[in-house]
Amino acid sequence: MQWLNYRALGMLIALAVICGVMTVLTSWRNDWGPPTFVSDVNLRNVLLQCSITTVAAAGMTLVIIGGGIDLSVGSVLALCTVALAVVARALPGAPGIGAGVAGCLIAGAAFGLLNGLLIVRTGAPPFIVTLGTLLVGRGLAYVLADGQTIHAQGVTAGASAPPLLITVGVVAACHLFLSLTPTGRYVYATGGSEEAARLSGVPIGRVRLLTYVASGLCAALGAVIYWLRMAAGNPLAQDGLELYAIAAVIVGGTSLSGGQGDILGTVIGALIMGVLANGLGLLTVPDYWQKVIIGTVIVLAVAGDRLRRRRAP
Amino acid sequence: MRMTLTLFVLAGIGLAVLGGCPKAPPTTETPVAVQPPPPLEAPAPQAAAGEMPDFGELKPSKPYKVALIMKTMSNPFFQAMERGAKEEAGKLGLELSSQAAEKETDDEKQAGIVENAIAQKVDAIVIAPADSKTLIPALLKANAAGIPVINVDNRIDAQAAQEAGLKLVTFIGPDNAAGAEKAARHLFEAMGGTGKAAMLEGIRGVDNAENRKRGFERALADFSGIELADSQSASWELEQGDTVFTNMLTAHPDITGLFCANDMMALGAIRAIEAAGQPGKILVAGYDNLEAAQEKLKSGALLCTIEQHPDLMGAYGVRCAVALLEGQEIPREIAVPTDLVTKADAR
């Protein structure tokens, strides 16, 4: 725990440094006028723009701490946006949206359950199972949407409060679950040493199942955010989300081999990537270079952390 | 095992984040040579209704900040658009920032770029939207901030915009149906007005894909000797063009003419024709006049394509933005001319 705090502090400092650099650079770009980066509008934009990654990464954190991995989140999210849009289209008005959100959450949880059951019951590696369901989910999204973006009728999207509330809610729920509940502690135990956990009576199968359902639900909530932002269901949505979510989790200090990590680190990890993407965008750094820079930061963050831990007594 | 898994995943993240998405748009083989863009007034063979108005000699009263927001930079079409816009911005002494999402289909990323442009307090936004409806919420924020929005290339759905109360200054785009009709007519004439023809469509439901299909069908209706064998979507992609047309050829070996809604799919289809050992037997018409298509035009593997002057769209967008900011009247719609490009015009 001591180490965790020390590490979280390090990541926070890294985030603060990146924010500082962006503030200076955006001020410089305005001929040393007010920095665009710290304007109200932009700070809200940063949070909005990394809300989907954060929500997916929160679910991913549970899965990874529990010793698994979920590559299907981007596809599940796309499938859920389509499910929401299809239901909302069939039932016009507010009930349609309510039913759509319900359908979206059910689809996400069901897909998570499917992932979990396949992994727990067959003992197949999570990497392979979720790689398969990644394709299945994306394919089903295309099928359900008939290959097209489904637009919501007569819905005004774009308000920033609901996506942010969902994000904060998911983060808080996952954090409280991991740090306060016995089941949360079982997740750490299962990921740390499955054998030891089993011997001490942890229902590891059910715990792992739960983490995948949580991840599916988080993807579904990400789909709700997508829908709130774009007013559409899109089978192409968030292709590659899984990689950014995993990156946020790892940059945030959760170990890929399971058993350790926390949600707050993941939030910092997602913010670091979100701030970089937003700031580089404000500076109109070409997209190709944005990828180079963000990728470099991910590698440096993880490598730096490994080296420091190796040197630590 | 865990170590291997760790390495595998990290390698995957590294590759994806550094090297681009696994399904990167298949445009890697297109070295874009710098082409001198034609002067603004040059390609105006026929005086179309919504032609570029003459704003006179524009002299901006200050160096306006204009944001050009495109779908992706890995498509030569948008590279040409940026080139045209940059050149015009240079002439007018503007500060132009051009940005795009990494993937053509990533509408949410593009919405983020719009939000960033608003935060930067640009004077005008010129946007080629990734989707004809989903960008509306983001553009409404620009409206709310009092930033005028000029729509280029892919048209924002008029009905959806009206419902949402979105105000767009103008739409500057190619006449996709007219361009496709031009290419299809040339193809059918080259086929001698008889035989089986097929079409590779873009992503269904997207405005320009639907309009190109409409243009193709218009031409088809005028040629009674041409029979339509098959028409399928190959999602604008090189690889898909190859795969889909390979399958079409298997089902209909007697196809003698093919219209592709973009050059990328045409290049894929040409690959399929070569792989099937039938080069020269099937005439292929494309759309977009890509750099990568020039060699195929010269060799005759590609019969013709359509130039829709993305550079002019970029340049017109910038010009309209300045004219508007200087208080001039802007027409609701401006059509950029399309040209039929054949072997003789290959660059």
Three-state DSSP class for residue B145: coil
By DSSP bridging, strand B255-260 and strand B283-285 are parallel
Taking only the tens place, the pLDDT of each residue in A13-55 is: 889 999 999 999 988 887 888 888 888 888 888 898 899 999 9
Of B23-37, B172-186, B284-298, give the lowest mean pLDDT range.
B23-37
Taking only the tens place, the pLDDT of each residue in B180-198 is: 999 999 999 999 999 999 9
Nearest-CA distance A197 → chain B (Å): 18
B14 to chain A, any CB pair closer than 8 A? The answer is yes
Nearest-CA distance A84 → chain B (Å): 15
Cβ separation A294–B113 shorter than 8 A: no
Angle, helices A263-282/A2-29, rounded to nearest 10 degrees:
10
What phi and psi values does residue A29 have, to the nearest 5 degrees?
-70, -25
Q: Which residues of A92-103 are buried (b: 16+ CB within 10 A; e: fewer)?
A: eeeebbeebbeb
Task: Of A258-272, B41-55, B234-248, give the range with the top mean pLDDT.
Answer: A258-272
The pTM assigned to this predicted structure is 0.74
Length of chain A: 313
Q: Measure the CA–CA gap between B229 and B105, rounded to whole angstroms.
A: 30
Write the CB contacts of B97 (distance below 8 Å, at least 6 apart in sequence): A284, B65, B66, B67, B68, B117, B120, B122
Q: Which residues are bridge partners to B67 per DSSP?
A: B97, B125
Taking only the tens place, the pLDDT of each residue in A225-283 is: 998 888 888 888 888 899 999 999 998 888 888 888 899 999 999 999 999 988 888 88
Cα dihedral A128, A131, A135, A136 sign: positive
CB pairs under 8 A between A and B: 141
A41 to chain B, any CB pair closer than 8 A? The answer is yes
Under 8 Å between Cβ of B153 and B173? yes
Query: Residue B12: pLDDT above 60?
Result: no
Taking only the tens place, the pLDDT of each residue in B274-289 is: 888 888 899 999 998 8
- Residue that wins the pLDDT comparison between B12 and B268: B268
Q: Where are the domains of chain A?
A: 2-311
Percent of chain B with pLDDT strictly greater than 90: 51
Write the CB contacts of B68 (distance below 8 Å, at least 6 apart in sequence): B81, B82, B85, B96, B97, B98, B99, B126, B127, B314, B317, B318
pLDDT of residue B228: 95
Write the CB contacts of A268 (distance below 8 Å, at least 6 apart in sequence): A8, A11, A12, A15, A251, A252
Domains, chain B, in order of start with CATH, read 50-168+309-336 (3.40.50.2300), 176-307 (3.40.50.2300)
Query: Residue B41: pLDDT above 50?
Result: no
Q: Measure the CA–CA gap between B144 and A168, rounded to whole angstroms.
A: 26
User: Which ipTM value was assigned to this complex?
Assistant: 0.73
Q: Measure the CA–CA gap between B140 and B133, rounded to whole angstroms.
A: 12
Taking only the tens place, the pLDDT of each residue in A103-158 is: 999 999 999 999 999 999 998 999 999 999 999 999 999 999 887 788 776 566 66
Task: Of A33-47, A169-183, B239-253, give the range with the top mean pLDDT.
Answer: A169-183
Cβ separation A48–B115 shorter than 8 A: yes
Write the CB contacts of B54 (distance below 8 Å, at least 6 apart in sequence): none
Among the partner-chain residues B3, B22, B137, the one whose CB lies closest to the CB of A157 is B137
Write the CB contacts of B344 (distance below 8 Å, at least 6 apart in sequence): none
CATH superfamily of A2-311: ABC transporter involved in vitamin B12 uptake, BtuC (1.10.3470.10)
B119 to chain A, any CB pair closer than 8 A? The answer is yes
